[in-house]
Amino acid sequence: MMRVGSFLSVLLGSCLSAMASVSMADTSPRIIGGHAASVGEHEYFASLLIAYNWDSGETSLTPQQSTRYSWNSFCGGSYIGNKTVITAAHCIKDLPSSGTLHLLVGNYSDTGMQWEYCADEGAAVYSCQGRNTANEELTGFHPTGWTMYTGNEAEIIEVSMSDIIIHQQYSTNTLINDIAIIPLPQLINNPALTLPTSDLFKTLASSTDTGNVQVIGHGDTISDNDSKTFQASAQLLEVDVTARTNTECRAFFGSQYIEGHMICAGDSGLDSCQGDSGGPLIEPDSDTLLGVVSWGPDVCGASGTSYGVYANVFTHVEWIESGGLAGFSGGMVSVNENGDTIRMGNSVAGSLGVGVLLVSGLLLWRRRSW
């Protein structure tokens, strides 16, 4: 039996309509071919959280007074100081405009982020629990593929949805300007990523070095397009990937790659994927935020040529520094459909917007019999 809450149903409907309007980007990036970050690394990383109610099977921004729920991570983000987190617009766009968004800032791999296991179908009392490994044999429970936060809830930051700023010219059709600002209600002491003062990514992409940028996230670790094999990581993962030139990106993505607003990076078997959306692409030596995980081919990190696409932070520095009030440009650009699958990064129901079904399906079958 599959139980789907009304909140998820609305989101899924919006995803289906958006899916018909684009053709080659799935907003659900993950870390493929990476390794666990060290404890204390990437304390600027933000995890956006959604509450899964065990009793109703519904997913919502808040626990809605239930005492039986999981906090699931659905997107990433980057703390840049000055009470500001940057994420992808598609992570926020289809969320209810009222209410509260919850997030963690910091690497919680060893202090509460665990792999989620929920009761098998037919259990007398349905419940979920966190475990320290992804493949335990737990009688009466099965892994859902999701991560869940089981740590101190006082660490969770609440942000009013009305305060979040999505780029005024973000397009769900083209994924241009896929960036949003989450203003935090209080100062935090976490280290922050810096914004680029020059087009550092272009310089890196033109060099002959490899593995010169890094992407970070809790997303899917299995390189295929089968939602039933989705496996997020409770450990915060990092992977070094090659920055690619605009020429390489255009040759691979065609007209769907919009130079100036997008950058791309990746290697065979190395990529971001489902669940990493909104997270940071950085220059690790200087902790500079270069990109925001946005979209890519439906199979992340496929063998051979495989790149992921990121919102170009350098293009949006003025917009970010103005608090989303100035410096935006580009407009609504259309692209030609070529019949390829679109992948975006995860949103609440999985990948809200383009290509959402991949991860929204996970919520549909999380109570299935195993």
Indicate if the pLDDT at residue 174 is higher than 80. Answer: yes
* Length reported for the chain: 370
Beta-carbon contacts of 261 under 8 Å, excluding residues fewer than 6 positions away, are: 176, 177, 311, 312, 315, 330
Q: 120 pLDDT exceeds 50?
A: yes
* Pairwise CA distance, residues 191 & 80, whole Å: 8
Active site positions, annotated: 178, 277
CATH superfamily of 7-330+340-365: Trypsin-like serine proteases (2.40.10.10)
Residue 116 confidence (pLDDT) above 90 = yes
Return d(Cα 101, Cα 89) in angstroms, integer.
Answer: 14
* Closest CA relative to residue 228, chosen from 274, 188, 193, 173: 274
| pLDDT tens-digit readout, 3-21 | 122 333 333 233 323 322 3
Q: pLDDT, tens digit, for every residue of 220-233? A: 777 666 556 677 88
To which residue do tokens 């840049």 refer? Answer: 80
Distance of CA 283 to the CA centre of its chain: 19
Distance CA 117, CA 225 (A): 22
pLDDT of residue 366: 33
Distance CA 219, CA 238 (A): 11
User: What are the backbone angles phi and psi of residue 63, rounded to the nearest 5°?
Assistant: -65, -10
Residues 6+ apart with CB under 8 A from 60: 5, 7, 50, 51, 53
CA distance 225 to 354: 14
**pLDDT tens for residues 358-367?**
333 333 333 3
This prediction has a pTM of 0.82
Res 295 pLDDT > 80: yes
If one compares 272 and 328, the residue with the highest pLDDT of the two is 272
Q: Beta strand 45-53 with 100-105: parallel, antiparallel or unpaired?
A: antiparallel
Model confidence at 163: pLDDT above 90:
yes
Distance CA 167, CA 322 (A): 12
| CA end-to-end distance (rounded Å), the chain | 12
Dist. CA 130–CA 147, nearest whole Å? 8
Q: Is the pLDDT of residue 65 over 90?
A: no
